[in-house]
Homo-oligomer: A and B are copies of this chain.
């Protein structure tokens, strides 16, 4: 018999609906899994054992009465510790918030509860979702980083401590940890999911997204949150490969896997074409950094001036840098953003999705760096939706992934492409935890 902690969102939801599984059984199974693995992985800041069991009890009674709240009835969820959760400590990964208990839920947490989800706990984040690492380890090898900033969410889903977990991305903070931990993830179009009640880093770049065990689960969850239509696997998608940059700067094992992946998709019927990146691509990374630094400085300025030593080195550097950026430089960067967005959309004419490696390197050894967001930054910059799909392991047995990029608000079609690719790539191997 399969332990409930192994079920995907879709599998659990179906079993709860037809009475073969209760939310209480599911929560209890996940709590045991957490008890077993958490000491090794450090994925959680707070596990809300009491709150989750209490919700599960109510939802179990309701399910027995055929009274379902929504498509996520009884599904336990991990929430990155920068989303406000009512009555549940929310630390932002910072000592400045170590005792902060919000009085209300972030909008997306509220929506999850309305859809029937159970908040299982708060997952580890880097400090204020920037680069200073969380204590979380990579479930595939605890000597390696799980990536960041949504470190705990990716590690928790990869190790099956929860089937679904939420994160945020300003540079590469959803796609990178998802790829390093070998789980599917979506970063929807900028603004599709509300960031109300989520601690900002850089509000014109911050995205809300999530990780799960399959593209189908990503689609089910996004449907539950937005009411979008149901994704269908696309047949023979037209996939664009950037002609420059990614192949030139990616690590050898990343590029090998990427080429093999593209070849496999082509062999299985995808129409794979080369795509020229626009001229403006060359200034995307510095422009992104200027906007991120300037906005982060505006967010943190007053707290930071009172107590700079309460900030760890990376975010200190971010705020100090941001404080000396002139507004005309910031505004030029925002204008470059408009130009790149337009040019990139033109370049994508005629394809269903763009395919790149998900990360520039494989998971890095050690916990001092969460890795580099360079391959994700252009899509945080444009706000275009992206999906990560695991695509293999490197020689060290660590996961590699590819990233599909779609059009603004084109999540239904992007997930359709992703679902087709997922079937072709057929990544079923698990982290060696048991």
Contact = CB atoms under 8 A, between A and B. Distances in A.
A286 interface: no
A327 B295 CA distance: 8
A326 B324 contact: yes
Interface stretch (A1-9, A118-126, A236-244, A328-336): A328-336
Nearest to A334: B298
Contact of A328 (B301, B328, B331, B335): B301
Contacts of A270: none
Contacts of A295: 327, 331
Among A294, A328, A332, find the residue whose CB has the most chain B CB atoms closer than 10 A: A328
B326 A325 contact: yes
Contacts of A329: 327
Contacts of A326: 297, 323-327
Interface in A295-322: 295, 297-298, 301, 322
Contacts of A323: 326, 328
Count of identical protomers in the assembly: 2
A23 B329 CA distance: 49
A330 B326 CA distance: 9
Contacts of A330: 327, 330-331
A323 B325 CA distance: 10
A339 B329 CA distance: 25
A331 to B, nearest CB: 4
Interface in A103-146: none
A294 B329 CA distance: 10
Interface in A322-358: 322-332, 335
A291 to B, nearest CB: 9
Contact of A298 (B297, B325, B327): B327
Nearest to A302: B332
Nearest to A304: B328
Nearest to A293: B327
Interface in A359-417: none
Contact of A331 (B298, B324, B332): B298
A322 B332 CA distance: 13
Closest 9 CB pairs of A and B: A294-B327, A327-B330, A298-B331, A298-B328, A297-B328, A325-B327, A327-B327, A301-B328, A323-B328
Interface of A: 294-295, 297-298, 301, 322-332, 335
Given A297-B326, A325-B327, 8 more contacts: A295-B327, A297-B328, A298-B328, A298-B331, A301-B328, A326-B327, A327-B330, A330-B331
